[in-house]
């Protein structure tokens, strides 16, 4: 089966659910990290409709994550932002102000505040992630050398607030899970990251991750950075069926849990 399809994504989530992870939004993880936690981070660089599909799939499995929107027309879709938030997911601001403001710090922080406030008129926002435009000579995280996002009621930026010595960072850059070597900006403080230190955590295909999950080889905390526009979406009817099937499976799982808690006669 082809990789980076919605069906494959569903299989991946299913394999992680079976390993009894807690799926936390990014702000939940910052406030109260679970011992075994998965943060599904989605960077909505483009095609917000794809993100809505993933948001629905996750919701049908009883999961939630964070969706980070850019302040550009091909990402920022207000009805989709609201709909994804209504599905129980967190919304974050995917900022790139130093790039769009040509390296001017004052213009960048003003632009940052303006977009953050616009997003907050739609949904609550407490975390941010940087959009690393590969062609830009600016790194928008440098904004925080002069300003502090915590003054703006923001509690998390993965680069600064996650200890990547302990959290495995996996990103789908270039439709592979080991493409981080290609996109420098997508790197976390990656020299220290476990996936570079430890051969066990080097994955190429989604099936590689699923197999590691089945063998119980995955670490306790993982941040998946997903770019939904890179995942192939099948036709709508098929999608409806998949979501329905997920919902049925949740009910089945609940019945198993309830039965296992019943005192034996
Ligand atoms: Zn991005």
Q: What digits encode the pLDDT tens for the residues 23-74?
A: 999 999 999 999 999 999 999 999 999 999 999 999 999 999 999 999 999 9
Please answer whether residues 221 and 162 qualify as being in contact, where contact means their C-beta atoms are separated by less than 8 angstroms. no
Q: CA 158 to CA 155: how far, in whole Å?
A: 10
Ligand 1 centroid–CA 45 distance in Å is 5
Ligand 1 centroid–CA 159 distance in Å is 14
Ligand 1 centroid–CA 84 distance in Å is 18
Ligand 1 centroid–CA 131 distance in Å is 4
More confident residue, 117 or 257: 117
By percentage, how much of the chain surpasses pLDDT 90? 68
Ligand 1 centroid–CA 74 distance in Å is 12
Ligand 1 centroid–CA 71 distance in Å is 11
Is 40 in a helix, a strand, or coil? strand
What confidence tier does 107 reach under pLDDT thresholds 50, 70, 90?
A: very high
Give 156's DSSP letter. Answer: B
Q: What digits encode the pLDDT tens for the residues 239-264?
A: 777 788 788 778 877 887 788 777 66
Whole-prediction pTM: 0.89
Ligand 1 centroid–CA 134 distance in Å is 10
What confidence tier does 196 reach under pLDDT thresholds 50, 70, 90?
A: low
Ligand 1 centroid–CA 182 distance in Å is 15
Half-sphere exposure of 235 (CA within 13 A, CB side): 2
Ligand 1 centroid–CA 40 distance in Å is 14
- For residue 172, what are the contacts with CB-CB under 8 A and spacing of at least 6? 4, 179, 224, 225, 226, 227, 230, 231
Ligand 1 centroid–CA 137 distance in Å is 15
pLDDT surpasses 70 at 203: yes
What confidence tier does 184 reach under pLDDT thresholds 50, 70, 90?
A: very low
Ligand 1 centroid–CA 255 distance in Å is 40
pLDDT surpasses 80 at 193: no
Q: What digits encode the pLDDT tens for the residues 135-151?
A: 889 999 999 999 999 99
pLDDT value at residue 223: 95
What average pLDDT does this structure show over 3-17? 94
- 224 forms beta bridges with 40, 170
> For all residues of the chain together, what is the average pLDDT?
89
């Amino acid at each position: 089966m082809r990789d980076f399809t919605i069906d494959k994504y569903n299989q991946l989530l299913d394999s992680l659910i079976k390993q009894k992870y807690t799926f936390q939004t990014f702000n939940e993880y910052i406030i109260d990290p679970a011992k075994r936690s998965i943060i599904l981070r989605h960077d909505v660089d483009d095609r917000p409709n794809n993100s809505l599909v993933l948001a629905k799939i996750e919701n049908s499995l009883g999961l939630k994550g964070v969706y980070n929107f850019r302040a550009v027309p091909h990402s920022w879709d207000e009805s989709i932002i609201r709909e994804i938030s209504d599905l129980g997911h967190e919304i974050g601001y995917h900022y790139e102000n130093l790039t769009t403001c040509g390296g001017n710090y004052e213009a960048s922080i003003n632009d940052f505040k303006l977009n953050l406030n616009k997003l907050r008129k739609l949904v609550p926002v407490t975390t941010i992630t940087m959009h690393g435009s590969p062609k830009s000579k600016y790194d928008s995280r440098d904004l925080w050398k002069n300003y502090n996002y915590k003054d703006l009621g923001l509690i998390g930026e993965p680069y600064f607030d996650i200890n990547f010595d302990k959290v495995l960072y996996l990103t789908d850059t270039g439709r592979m899970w080991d493409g981080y070597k290609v996109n420098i900006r997508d790197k976390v403080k990656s020299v220290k990251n476990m996936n570079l230190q430890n051969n066990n955590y080097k994955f190429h295909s989604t099936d590689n991750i699923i197999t590691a999950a089945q063998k119980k080889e995955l670490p306790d905390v993982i941040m998946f950075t997903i770019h939904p526009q890179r995942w192939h979406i099948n036709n709508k009817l098929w999608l409806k069926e998949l979501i329905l099937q997920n919902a049925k499976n949740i009910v089945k799982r609940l019945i198993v849990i309830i039965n296992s808690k019943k005192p034996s006669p």
